[in-house]
Structure 1
Amino acid sequence: MNSPRLRIGRVSMPNHAYELTMVCEHRRAWFDDPANARVVTALFPLLDAQGLSHSLAWVVMPDHVHWLFQLGNRPLSYVAQRFKSRSALMLNRLHLRNGRVWQTGYYDHCLRSETALRRHAFYVMENPVPGGLADRIGQYPYAWCRWPLEDDPR
């Protein structure tokens, strides 16, 4: 979705937790291919090491990514742009192609409480289950969470 309405009210607050959802162009299932999923999963620790983020949970679904992280000192838009541009570059190189990988824009949600943080972490980790990619939380290979999530916090 390329809508300026996505930016209304968007603020970047360093050290606050955010959940980002980024969707592949035309909902193409890029990450059905394990090699492509591994390219993206390798970016989370890289961005963490650069001080742009501190990952708390993520899942790489076939056609989109959910990422829960604590923002570093750069704006949220910068972190999202770095993630999307770096992953697109790497995927295009891997497949000897040029072209878009991601839809323009992203969805974000600032998490303002520990309860909200746990609820969103559970949502991120549970995402593969209704999609039929896993039978239970923790079974999907392209998902990671900082905490064990046994109980549904909703």
Structure 2
Amino acid sequence: MSKDARFSSNRLRAGRWSGEGQIYLVTAVTKLRQPVFHDLFAARELIRVMRADEARDSHKTLAYVVMPDHLHWLLELRQGSLSQLVGRVKSICAKRIGRRVWQDGFHDRALRKEEDLQAMARYVVANPLRAGLVERIGDYPHWDAVWL
């Protein structure tokens, strides 16, 4: 990694904040954009890890879609930091799948209270449709949402 890339990455992390009750849209990408989650076992394992962490009340998942080479995850943070949550889910997922899965870091966006969460959830789960993977959202197996 170049010095400029490291500086940019560190600056991004320095500006990240986590707030309990805050809603975030998180995007995490696989290493070298490999289509790891094209594999049914890998995709379902990631979903199991996310659900198990939610059961610990660390967060509330509002919507997600597991794409072949990345994850979009709309969530409300309930405990800890966003970096801890995403890092933990990525780490456990990689261990269960049995290989290095993830590119370092992740992208996040804190949503403002006035933003339309239903529209954001629809945007998240419509990713396979926009990517041309399916003709109907219901045909894609790796998504869920609290409401649509």
Q: What TM-score comes out, normalization by structure 1 length?
A: 0.85
Q: Does 1:38 align with 2:44?
A: yes
Which residue, out of 21, 28, 51, partners 1:15?
Answer: 21
User: What residue number does 1:73 align with?
Assistant: 79
CA offsets 1:86-130 (integer angstroms, 9 cap, x no match): 0000000xxxxxx42100000001111253423321221110012
**Match status 1:113 vs 2:119:** no
CA distance 1:114–1:90, shift in 2 (3 Å): farther
Structure 2 distance, partners of 1:144, 1:107, is 20
Q: Give the 5 Å matches for 1:21-100.
A: 21-92=27-98, 99-100=99-100
1:120-152 CA deviation, whole Å, 9 max, x = no partner? 21221110012122213333110101102xxxx
After TM superposition, the runs of 4+ consecutive aligned structure 1 residues lying more than 6 A away are none
Q: Which residue of 2 aligns with 1:151?
A: none
| Cα distance in 1 between the residues matched to 2:111 and 2:64 | 15
Report if the CA contact (8 A) 1:68-1:121 is conserved.
Answer: yes
Taking every aligned residue pair, what percent have the same amino acid on both sides? 40
Compared CA separation, residues 33 and 48, structure 1 to 2 (3 A):
same
Per the alignment, residue 147 of structure 1 pairs with 147
Partner of 1:96: none
Deviations 1:54-83 (A, max 9, x none): 100000000000111110121111001111
Q: One-letter code of the match for 2:137? A: I
Check whether the contact 1:59–1:125 (CA below 8 A) recurs between aligned residues: yes
Identify if the C-alpha distance between structure 1 residues 31 and 6 changes in structure 2 by more than 3 Å, giving closer, same or farther.
same
> Which AA in structure 2 matches 1:147?
W
Name the one with the larger helix percent. Answer: 2
Q: Give the superposed CA RMSD.
A: 1.6
> 5+ unaligned residues in a row in structure 1: which ranges?
93-98, 149-154
Indicate the SS of the match to 1:128: helix
Aligned residue for 2:137, secondary structure, equals: coil
The whole-number CA distance in structure 1 between the counterparts of 2:139 and 2:133 is: 9
The TM-score, its normalising length taken from structure 2, stands at 0.89
